Each structure stands twice: as C-alpha cells, then as structure tokens.
C-alpha cells in the first residue's frame, strides 16, 4: 500500500462505517470490498464484512471473513466475539464458547462477550453457569438491559419466575418498548398463573408487533385457562394466520374446540397438529378422548411430565383454594380407620409437591416419594418431609425397588393410568404382607377403565375388586366422595383401602 492511498482507505472506511450504522448494508459492503481491493489484509474491512454477512444471514461468508480477520490480527477481541456469534447462529455451541473465551482472555471486561457466552451456556442447559456470566456483566454495567433480560430468561428456565420478573421489569425500565422483555415477562406471569396480567403483556407485545405468533398462541392459552374459549379460538387463529405451520397452536386449537363440543373440528385440528410435527403419542391420546382411536393403557409420560412441570409453581394453591381438593384428607382418614402401623416405612406414589406428606410423616420412620415431574419433586423436596425422592414412572419404580413398605398410597394418581395391572403387581412386590395400600380413582359406571373427555381415566369398582383378587389383596374399604371441582362440577371418586394378603 502506497502512503498516498492510506488517507483514501481511511476515508472510504469511515464512509462505509457510516452507511453500515445507517443500515445500508449493501452500500457499506461495497465500500469494505473496495478497501480490500487496495489492502487485502485490512483487519477492519475483513471483520466488518463478516458482521454484514452475519446480519444478512450468510453464515459461511461471515465465517470466512472473520477467520481471515483473526489471521491478520488474532489479538482483537471483537473479531473473536463476532466469530462466536456466527458459530452460535450455526448451532456450533462448543466452538462459539471457545471464541467467547478467547475474546474474554483478551478483554475480561468485554460486556457483549460475557452476555453472549451466557446465552451459549443457557442453550446448552448450563443455567447456573449462564447466570454467572450475566451477573459479571451486570457488576461491570448495572444498567445493561440485555444482560438483565437474559439473566431473567435463565431464571425463568430454572422456574424462578419471581426473580425473573424483577429482571424483566428492570430491563423494561431501561429500554422502553422492549418487546423481548415484555414477552418474557408475560411468560413468567403465565407460569405463575397471573393470567390476566399475562394477557395484558401479550397484548402490549402484539400492539407493538402484530405478527408475533408466539404471543398470540400464549394469549390463547391464558384465555383458555379463564374459560374464554371463543376469544382463545381467535388468538389461535391469528397465530396460525401468521405461522400456518405451528403445531403447538394447532394442538391447543383442537383442545378448545373439544371443550366447546365441536368434535369434528377438534379432530381436524389435531390431525393438522400431527401433520405439523406435534407429539404423535399426545395427539393420539387426545383423539382417544374423542373416541376416534383406542384408548392407551396410560397417559403418555411426556404429557404428564409437561402438565405437572408447568403446574408445579401454583399446584398446591390451585388445588386447595380453587378446586377444593380433598383427596389427601379423605385417603388418610380411610387408612386411619383401618389402623396403619404407627411406625411405618411409607411410600407416596405420584407424590407431586408433597400434599400427602404432612399426613404420612407422623406415621413414618421413613417416607419415600416418587413422581415423573422434576419440578414437582423440587417442591416436594422443599417440604423437608421426605427421606427419599425419585423421578421415575411408578410401575417401573415398584418393580426395581428392593424396599418393603408398610403403607403405600397413591392420591389422585390413577387418573393418568388406565390399566392398573402392572401397578398392582409392583405394589404386591413392594408391600409387606398384611400391609395397607390406599388410593383414589375417579368413578366409571360402565367400562373397567374409561378415558374421559377431561383426559383423565375413571375406573369401575368391579374392576378394582378383580385387581384385588388377581394380585392377592383384600378390599377393606371402598367409599365414594367428592374430591374436587372441575369447571364448577363436583368430581366423584372412590377412596379405596386394600390389604396385602
């Protein structure tokens, strides 16, 4: 490069940067290319062409230019950070992490690299580590809105929604009309069952960005919970207009149509959801509740896990204050009438958040809980009433358990299992002779077991008696009661106590 061309290159580069900042990417890119024509190893032109390529969605070109820039000057943290972002776009998380690490070795106070490194760790499920990066960035710059937003999203993924809301609120204070923070805030409000407030936030997102399909879909779910079914249909319809291939919205649409007794339309929506990639087991389960396919022997494990993972944060309050849930009290009273041992090794099948634990603990020298939902088990762990907690399907747990129990209970668990033979075989194996097995189930007056439109199974008393006979149990007590409310109707259940022969 001649000395006379250096001022020309500097002027050209300044013009290109100005155009770049104005969003005129094509014009800026042409000028960066002209710089490279005069000086092929110009670091800034190479690095900024990589940025433009990434902004334009051309990841391979971005990688080419950024790697060339790093070859020219490997000591520039900005190029490593931009390379990390490009690798992140491509899903090459481990390589992206290494690029951010190099950027931070060169500049430990590089805020963008800290924030982006946190995002990669979050994508890898390393949530605690992601928090450390956001917190480091916020120590350096407390008003860093992006780090507040991303820390909130990691806290949200850890089911710490109250803490997440504080971060989303702070991010929105710093950056007005922050759509991402407003949407994330709505998601946490929805998880906490503040559905009216969540709808307000989704409305704010939609006002700013009418084509936000996720906001329309989640708004529909909130309206569905409030039993505003027609409004929910409109929200799902808008989501599907924006994104015609959207399995989640199609599946939710099917559920609302089913609740409105528009069964043919529900079947069509479920079919569309299946064609668009929805979980086939869950769709067939929904179709079974409409009588279109044979009912499975149990609810899909993924359905139960997802249902209760979402429900964990407000499970106890909703059951006890909204649904007037009585099963633990009724079941324990029935067991006490049959005289359970005062010092027992007790097992709580499908323990959930531990609603039965406070009744079982006074009897128990040892209390074990089993459930499919990790988030439910975390709530159970917080009660400090269990000696052991296991995340497993209950029949599998019973078959592999080496323990022998004096009392086994299953409160409101068999509503997710139709055929109970495997469970009874497992209980027989795990229960001491003469010991008690107490459980509840919804009442079927027709079939042995029946999958209801509520997506819950009911069982007949003759079927339960047949199970007792087949698996060496004596039926000590069978009483009917109302366990809870569902959409204003009282749900009738059987409370059963059996004794192992």
Q: How much is the average pLDDT of 340-363?
A: 88
Query: What are the boundaries of each domain within the chain?
Result: 23-91, 306-500
Please choose, from the candidates 464, 409, 404, 461, the residue with its C-alpha nearest in 3D space to the C-alpha of residue 434: 404
Residue 57 predicted with pLDDT over 60: yes
Is the pLDDT at 487 greater than 80, yes or no?
Answer: no
Give Cα 58 to chain centroid, integer Å: 32
Residue predicted with more confidence, 431 or 311 = 431
Q: What are 432-450's pLDDT values in tens digits? A: 999 999 999 999 988 999 9
Instruction: Please give the pLDDT value at position 395.
Output: 94
Three-class SS of residue 176? coil
Tens digit of each residue's pLDDT (9 = 90 or more) over 368-401: 999 998 888 998 999 999 999 999 999 999 999 9
Please name the residues in contact with 139: beta carbons below 8 A apart, sequence gap of 6 or more: none
Burial of 317 (0-12, 13-18, 19+ CB in 10 A): exposed
Confidence label for 405 from pLDDT (cuts 50, 70 and 90): very high
pLDDT at 486 over 70: no
Q: What CATH number does domain 306-500 carry, 3.40.50.970, 1.10.3720.10, 3.40.50.150, 3.30.2320.80?
A: 3.40.50.150
pLDDT at res. 329: 86
Cα separation, 194 vs 8, whole angstroms: 60
Q: Assess contact for 377 and 391: CB atoms under 8 A.
A: yes
pLDDT at 301: 85
Q: What is the mean pLDDT of residues 60-70?
A: 94
In which band, very low, low, confident or very high, does the pLDDT at 422 lie, cut at 50, 70 and 90? Answer: very high
pLDDT at 473 exceeding the cut of 70: yes
Q: What is the pLDDT of residue 470?
A: 97
| Secondary structure element (H or E) that encloses residue 311, with its range | helix 301-311
**Mean pLDDT, the chain, integer:** 91
Instruction: Judge contact between 499 and 341, C-beta under 8 A.
Output: no
> What average pLDDT does the segment 266-288 reach?
95
Taking only the tens place, the pLDDT of each residue in 210-233 is: 999 999 999 999 999 999 999 999
Instruction: Summarize the confidence of residues 465-488 as an average pLDDT.
Output: 86
pLDDT digits (tens, 9 = 90+) for 69-112: 999 999 999 999 999 999 999 999 999 999 999 999 999 999 99
pTM of the model: 0.83
The token pair that represents 159 in the structure block: 């089911």
**Residue 319: pLDDT above 50?**
no
* Nearest-angstrom CA–CA distance, 312 and 192: 9
Residue 240 has pLDDT above 60, yes or no: yes
Work out the angle between the directed axes of helices 145-157 and 161-174 (0-180°, nearest 10).
160
Question: For the structural domain made of 23-91, what CATH number should be given?
Answer: 1.25.40.10
pLDDT number for residue 484:
64
Other Cβ atoms closer than 10 A to 429: 13
pLDDT digits (tens, 9 = 90+) for 126-174: 999 999 999 999 999 999 999 999 999 999 999 899 999 999 999 999 9
Check pLDDT > 70 for residue 341: no
The per-residue pLDDT for 311 is 57
């Amino acid at each position: 490069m001649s000395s006379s061309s250096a001022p020309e290159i500097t002027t050209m580069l300044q013009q290109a940067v100005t155009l770049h900042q104005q969003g005129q990417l094509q014009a800026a890119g042409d000028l960066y290319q002209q710089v490279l024509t005069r000086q092929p190893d110009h670091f800034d032109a190479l690095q900024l062409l990589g940025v433009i390529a990434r902004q334009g969605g051309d990841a391979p070109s971005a990688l080419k230019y950024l790697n060339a820039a790093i070859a020219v000057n490997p000591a520039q943290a900005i190029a490593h950070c931009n390379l990390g972002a490009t690798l992140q776009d491509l899903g090459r998380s481990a390589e992206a992490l290494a690029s951010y690490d190099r950027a931070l070795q060169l500049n430990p106070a590089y805020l963008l690299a800290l924030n982006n490194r946190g995002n990669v760790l979050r994508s890898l499920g390393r949530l605690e580590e992601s928090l450390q990066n956001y917190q480091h960035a916020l120590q350096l710059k407390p008003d860093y809105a992006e780090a507040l937003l991303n820390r909130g999203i990691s806290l949200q993924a850890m089911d710490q929604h109250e803490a997440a809301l504080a971060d989303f609120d702070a991010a929105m204070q710093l950056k007005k009309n922050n759509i991402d923070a407003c949407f994330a805030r709505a998601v946490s409000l929805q998880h906490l069952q503040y559905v009216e407030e969540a709808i307000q936030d989704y409305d704010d997102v939609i006002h700013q960005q009418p084509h936000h399909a996720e906001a329309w879909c989640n708004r529909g779910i909130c309206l569905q919970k409030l039993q505003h079914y027609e409004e929910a249909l409109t929200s799902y319809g808008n989501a599907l207009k924006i994104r015609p291939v959207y399995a989640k919205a199609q599946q939710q649409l099917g559920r609302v149509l089913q609740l409105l007794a528009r069964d043919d339309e529900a079947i069509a929506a479920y079919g569309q959801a299946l064609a668009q990639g929805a979980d086939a087991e869950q769709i067939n389960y929904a179709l079974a509740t409409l009588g279109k396919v044979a009912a499975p022997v149990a609810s899909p494990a993924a359905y139960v896990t997802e249902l209760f993972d979402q429900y964990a944060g407000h499970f106890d309050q909703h059951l006890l204050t909204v649904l007037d849930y009585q099963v633990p009290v009724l079941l324990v009273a029935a067991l006490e009438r049959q005289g359970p041992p005062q010092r027992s090794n007790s097992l709580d099948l499908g323990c959930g958040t531990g609603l039965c634990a406070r009744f079982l603990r006074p009897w128990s020298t040892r209390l074990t809980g089993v459930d499919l939902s990790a988030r439910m088990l975390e709530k159970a762990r917080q009660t400090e009433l269990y000696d052991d907690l296991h995340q497993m399907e209950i029949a599998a747990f019973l078959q592999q358990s080496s323990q022998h129990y004096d009392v086994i209970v299953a409160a409101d668990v068999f509503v997710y299992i139709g055929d109970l033979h495997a469970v009874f075989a497992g209980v027989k194996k795990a229960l001491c002779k003469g010991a008690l097995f107490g459980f509840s189930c919804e009442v079927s007056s027709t079939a042995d077991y029946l999958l209801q439109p509520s997506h819950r199974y009911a069982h007949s008393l003759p079927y339960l008696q047949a199970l007792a006979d087949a698996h060496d149990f004596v039926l000590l007590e069978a009483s009917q009661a109302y366990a809870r409310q569902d959409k204003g109707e009282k749900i009738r259940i059987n409370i059963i106590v059996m004794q192992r022969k």
